[in-house]
Amino acid sequence: MIKILSIFILISAANAQSPAPTLTPAQKLAAARAEAQTRLNQGELSLQNLDDTFTSNGEEYRISQFRDVATAVIQAEATNIGQQAAGAFLSNYLIENSEYLGNFKAFQDACTGTNSECDEREKVRGEVLGNINTLYRVVHGNAGSEKFETEICEANTPTIPNQEFWSQFTDMTLNTKDCRELQPNQARKVRASGFGAEYLLRKTESGKYQALLNLDFEYEGGNLSTVDMMNRMRDCLKKANPYMGPAPGMELVVLGEDDINRLPSNQRPLARKITLKGPEFRSNSANYSDDAQCPTLVHEALHLLNLCDEYQERDLATYDWTCRIVTTSDSIMSNSFQAFPRSVPQSVTCECPANSKCDNIMSSNDQIAKKVFLAETPQEMANGFFWVDYCTQGNWQQLNTPPTRPIERGAASADSNSFTIVQRTVGGGPSDFFYHEKVDTCTFSTSQTNPVLIAEERRRFLAQRDNILRRIDAEPQTGKCPHGSTPGTHQDRLRGTPGAAYNNNTLTLNRDSEGKPLLHPNHVGRIIAGNCTSKASNYRRCASFSQKSISSCDPADRAQCSEDNFLRISGDGSAQ
Amino acid sequence: MIGVGVKYIFILQICLFLNSAFAMTLIKYRSMPEHVSIQQFEIISNKIIFKKETNYFDQKIDYQLGTYVLNPGTDIKEIERQLGIVLEKIKIVDKFLKDTKGSSFNEISPPAPHDSYYVLEGFKIGHESNLYPDVDKVFKILQSQEKKMLEGLLLDQKEGMVNFFKSGNKIKSTKFTMENCLKQTLPTVCKFKNIGVLYVDPMEGSK
């Protein structure tokens, strides 16, 4: 190690004494190596961020390009860097040093330099392999074969201990005090170990629970600053909180720096770093895309309170999470895009150009035309890709007389595997309107081969069908701008009374909350249970399947996770 | 100079690999909760087939999906050469990890969850990889080439029609109704079974 450092110090010194007017690539690299070491020593490059870049002689470099600098980093920081960072660094380190990775004999045979040069290369090779072993242990643990998991749901301890992070938990002893019910105005810190987060759980005077998070946004890309994202997150939570949980209610609060400093020092939750990314990114609990809106942001923030995913993962090639219990009762954790607008009041404006179909209908006194025009579509009623996966459209047929309803149940097969929906549409105007209808057919089919998963998919199909049919009967108003109008503003609060209003070519669609909270009882139970491992046992068990493949989970254990067990029955002796 | 011989052998290995290269696949991949977005270039001998299952990665607005053949003028040898250098490095690392650790290149540093990444011959290259800029450069060169559609669809936003093509000819036109589209907020994502997903923004509402 000392010898290696000496070599590049000597190289650097030589460069400093006689700088060449035009540097060769090797000289540039040597200069960059010295620059990296200097900047690391001066603290300009962070050892915590192994992918830090810097510029030397007009070219950009990463620390990981420098074997010797990397050695120092690895020795000093191996136990402190995060798993993800270590994995990325190891990968880059291997690529940068791929010339040293062949088998020993081939490596020796290939060296055509002098003996001392070959000896030197062999030493370097030994050092590279040593570094790889060190890094590999950081990524995979001492066993060396643990599968690298990018996100752990409901794990009791992280795979890789981050000393700096965990040492701050020393004042938190996991004993019975964590299981005592909080009294009004009491608070305690709770860890969300699987997500590397911590929150302060507080009970208010009125008995409502609050979970306080300390989020530290860090900009990496995209069109949103850290301040903008903080404001967006707070705005979303302000709108969502009144509808978050069943009585007595649950509030989620993101603290600012001033708020943190006002808390007693033993109640300050540790900061959770959230990286802001560009739109080419699917948000998760540690990284937000700049186009993430309220449903996504609230969902991701709730992960930091120990809640896990319940939606169907479709990208099974990347994430084989087929063991996940996919719930059918909408919640912010199972279907955020549908649950959020149904729980939180929405107000949408749509612009209707003069004399357009929209303008004609909304300016008229024809109540049937308006009803058909403003009815919720089957696509809004269905969950996610239900329509694309199972349904085919019929052809539009003109009706001779105006319909009485905008949408109706059609026929259903005896085996429940198929049902139809009659949908109507309106056109024409300004005074005479004409109507069309079509019959769409939805049929269960699956590409699954595992019998358990087939049965579960069919159960979800039937649950979705029942949900659609209930909404058809209820005839809710659409929350989207109807055909012929252009979307204007969208707000997650009511502007006026529920229903539709039309003024000056602007159609305003107000939808009140449908009354279902964003979370089910066991979600709230899990947040409140915090570090007390004897509470929220059903939720803990069922959520633990969230990021496992069907081949790696215990079928008998999984079979215990009915939707009621997962979401409503605490498993601690009484239903919540 | 230290290691000149080794470097020579290393480059020779790459050249040998390139001479034996027959087909190579480069995919850009993005995972979303409800679907995946894929653009794929397959280099087969003297032609490049482009399979576009999303317009998400396009450099400019282009509402079409399908299978294309790239302009014959594309410098395939140079594309193969650049990708071959990246691929050879990965293969060495992958073999090393398999032989010594029972692991693999894809296992040690999978792309960050939900981030977009490249897949070169099955090897995943995420934004955090030092190889990403090189692959990204090649991908953008391929994207910028003239292409001829073999089959697929084209959304005529002005007319509100989806036109379907096969063997280079239009075979069907249907009204674009957004019935296949997700999300109430724009940009919305419209899925066409067995073809792919279109990101559409801005369009009129549903129905």
The answer to whether the Cβ–Cβ distance between A99 and B10 falls below 8 Å is: yes
Considering only the C-alpha atoms of chain B, give the largest distance between any 2 of them, rounded to a whole number of Å: 71
Alpha-helical regions (H) of B102-185? 105-108, 132-143
d(CA A522, nearest CA chain B) in Å:
23
Instruction: Using alpha carbons, select from A285, A3, A340 the residue that is nearest to residue A154.
Output: A285
At B44, give phi and psi (nearest 5°): -120, 110
Q: Which two tokens stand for residue A519?
A: 């979370």
**Which of B14, B114, B197 to mutate to probe the A interface, most A CBs <10 Å?**
B114
Residue A423 confidence (pLDDT) above 80: yes
What is the reported pLDDT for A26?
67
pLDDT attached to residue B104:
87
Q: Is A532 helix (H, G, I), strand (E, B) or coil?
A: coil
Nearest CA in chain B to A86: B109
The contacts of residue A278 (CB under 8 Å, 6+ apart) are: A221, A222, A223, A289, A290
Task: Please check the confidence at residue B190 and state whether its pLDDT lies above 80.
Answer: yes
B204 touches chain A (CB under 8 A): yes
For the purposes of burial, counting CB atoms within 10 Å of the CB of B23, is it exposed (0-12), middle (13-18) or buried (19 or more)?
exposed
Alpha-carbon separation of residue B171 from A197, A263, A468, B54 (angstroms): 55, 68, 34, 21
CB within 8 Å: A95 and B112: no
Residue recorded with tokens 């990968």? A91
Least confident interval from A55-64, A110-119, A128-137, A173-182: A173-182
Better pLDDT: A225 or A73: A225
Q: Identify the residue with better confidence: B51 or A33.
A: B51
pLDDT digits (tens, 9 = 90+) for A288-315: 888 888 998 999 999 999 999 999 887 7
- Integer Cα distance of B153 and A56 in angstroms: 48
**Cβ-Cβ contacts under 8 Å for B95 (sequence gap 6 or more):** A101
- Read off the pLDDT band of A4 (50, 70, 90): very low
- Nearest-Cα residue of chain B relative to residue A114: B2
Non-local (6+) Cβ contacts of B135 within 8 A are B26, B83, B86, B118, B120, B125
Q: Is A117 on the interface with B (CB under 8 A)?
A: yes
- Alpha carbons A160 and A152: distance in angstroms, whole number: 11
Q: Look at A479 and B4 and tell me if their CB atoms are within 8 Å.
A: no
Can you tell me the mean pLDDT for B104-131? 86
B81 touches chain A (CB under 8 A): no
Is A96 in Cβ contact with B108 (below 8 Å)? no
What's this model's pTM, rounded to 2 decimal places?
0.61
Instruction: Report residue B207's pLDDT band, with 50, 70 and 90 as the boundaries.
Output: very low
Q: Cβ neighbours of residue A431 under 8 Å, at least 6 residues apart?
A: A364
User: By the 8 A CB rule, do A349 and A479 touch?
Assistant: no
Q: What pLDDT is recorded for position A293?
A: 87
Question: Please, which pLDDT band fits residue A155 given cuts at 50, 70 and 90?
Answer: very low
Confidence tier at A283 by pLDDT (50, 70, 90) = low
Written as six digits, the tokens of A484 are: 């012929």
Our CA-based measurement puts residue A117 at a distance from the nearest CA of chain B, in whole angstroms, of 6
User: Which residues of chain A lie closer than 8 angstroms to B179, CB-CB?
Assistant: 377, 379, 387, 393
Count CB atoms within 10 A of the CB of residue A234. Answer: 16
Confidence of residue A119 (pLDDT cuts 50, 70, 90): confident
Give the C-alpha distances (Å, rounded to integers) separating A54 from A23, A35, A36: 18, 9, 8
Min Cα separation A207/chain B (Å): 36
What are residue A253's DSSP bridge partners?
A: A212
Nearest CA in chain B to A135: B108
Whether A525 contacts A539, CB under 8 Å = yes
Residue of B nearest to A117 (CA): B2
Q: What is the DSSP pairing of strand B161-166 with strand B147-156? A: antiparallel
Is the pLDDT reported for residue A492 higher than 80? Answer: no
How far B104 CA sits from the closest chain A CA (Å)?
10
pLDDT given for residue A146 in this prediction: 26
What's the mean pLDDT in B201-206? Answer: 46
Are A287 and B115 in contact (CB < 8 Å)?
A: yes
Query: What contacts A42, CB < 8 A, 6 or more positions away?
Result: none
Show residues of chain B in contact with A147, CB under 8 Å: 107
Q: Residue B111: which pLDDT band, with cuts at 50, 70 and 90?
A: confident
**Closest CA relative to residue A509, chosen from A327, A321, A380:** A380
Q: Read off the pLDDT of each residue in A224-245 and give the average, rounded to a whole number.
A: 94
Say what the pLDDT of residue B48 is. Answer: 94
Residues whose CB is less than 8 angstroms from the CB of residue A148 and which lie 6 or more positions away in sequence, other chains included: A83, A87, A139, A140, B107, B108, B109, B110
User: Is a pLDDT exceeding 60 seen at residue B76?
Assistant: yes
Q: 3-state DSSP helix/strand/coil percent for chain A, to nearest 5?
A: 40, 20, 40
Q: Which pLDDT score, from 0 to 100, does residue A49 have?
A: 60
Look at A91 and B93 and tell me if their CB atoms are within 8 Å.
Answer: yes
Q: Does A143 touch chain B (CB under 8 A)?
A: no
How far apart, in whole angstroms, are the C-alpha atoms of residue B101 and residue A268?
42
- φ, ψ of residue A4 to 5 degrees: the values are -65, -45
State chain B's mean pLDDT as an integer: 80
pLDDT of residue A41: 74
Bridge pairing between strands A486-491 and A391-392: unpaired
Buried/exposed B73-96: b ≥16 CB within 10 Å, e otherwise: ebebeebbebbbebbbbbbbbbbb
pLDDT value of residue A56 = 85
β-partners of residue A273 are A216
**Tokens in use for A83?**
């798993």
Residue A350 has pLDDT above 70, yes or no: yes
From A467, A470, A318, select the one nearest A387 (Cα to Cα). A467
- Which tokens go with A550? 């069907």
Of the given ranges (A455-464, A489-498, A508-517, A521-530), which has the lowest mean pLDDT? A489-498
Max mean pLDDT range (A94-108, A114-128, A158-172, A550-564): A550-564
- Distance from A55 to chain B by nearest Cα, in Å? 15
Rounded CA Rg of chain A: 30
Contact A115, B78 (CB under 8 A): no
A14 touches B: beta carbon within 8 Å: no
Contact A384, B182 (CB under 8 A): yes
**Is the pLDDT at A510 greater than 60, yes or no?**
yes
pLDDT confidence tier of residue A237, bands split at 50, 70 and 90: very high
How are beta strands A287-289 and A272-277 bridged, if at all? parallel
- For residue A220 the two structure tokens come to 């990496």
Touching A: B residues 104-163, CB under 8 Å = 105, 107-110, 112-116, 126, 128-131
Give DSSP secondary structure letters for A204-223.
Answer: -TTS-EEEEE-EEEEE-SSS
Nearest by CB to residue B185, choosing from A99, A293, A350, is A293
pLDDT tens across A454-480, in order?
999 999 999 999 999 999 999 999 988
State the pLDDT at residue A467.
93
Q: Which residue carries 């109706």 as its tokens? A: A408
CB contact under 8 A, B116 and A281: yes
Average pLDDT, chain A: 80
CB-closest option in A92, A485, A490 to B204: A485
Q: Is B7's pLDDT higher than 60?
A: no
A117–B193: do the CB atoms touch at under 8 Å?
Answer: no
How many percent of chain B have pLDDT more than 90? 38
Q: What pLDDT shows up at residue A574?
A: 47
In tens, the pLDDT along A383-406 reads 767 887 898 888 889 999 999 999
Is the confidence at residue A380, as pLDDT, over 90? no
pLDDT score, position A120: 72
Chain A positions in Cβ-Cβ contact with residue B89 (cut-off 8 Å): 95, 98
Q: Nearest-5° angle of CA A484, CA A487, CA A493?
A: 130
Q: Is B59 on the interface with A (CB under 8 A)?
A: no
Taking CA atoms, what residue in A is nearest to B90?
Answer: A95
- Residue predicted with more confidence, A134 or A104: A134
If one compares A19 and A573, the residue with the highest pLDDT of the two is: A573
In this model, does residue B178 exceed pLDDT 90? no
Which residues of chain A have a CB within 8 Å of the CB of B184?
Answer: 337, 341, 348, 380, 479-480, 490
| Residue A332 pLDDT greater than 90, yes or no | yes
Contacts of B77 (CB under 8 A, 6+ apart): none
Model pLDDT for residues A534-553, shown as the tens digit of each residue? 889 899 889 988 888 888 78
Other Cβ atoms less than 10 A from the Cβ of B151: the count is 16
Model pLDDT, residue A437: 94
Mean pLDDT of A473-496: 83
- Asked whether the beta carbons of residue B116 and residue A87 sit closer than 8 angstroms, the reply is no
Q: Which residues of B touch A94 (CB under 8 A)?
A: 93, 96-97, 105, 108
Maximal CA-CA distance, chain A: 97
Residue A5's pLDDT is 37
B22/A contact by beta carbon, under 8 A: no
Name the packing angle between helices A67-77 and A2-17 (round to 10°): 140
pLDDT of residue A39: 81
State the pLDDT at residue B131: 93
ipTM above 0.85 for this complex: no
Task: Please name the amino acid found at residue B117.
Answer: Y
Integer Cα distance of A543 and A530 in angstroms: 14
Indicate the pLDDT class of residue B65, thresholds 50, 70 and 90.
very high
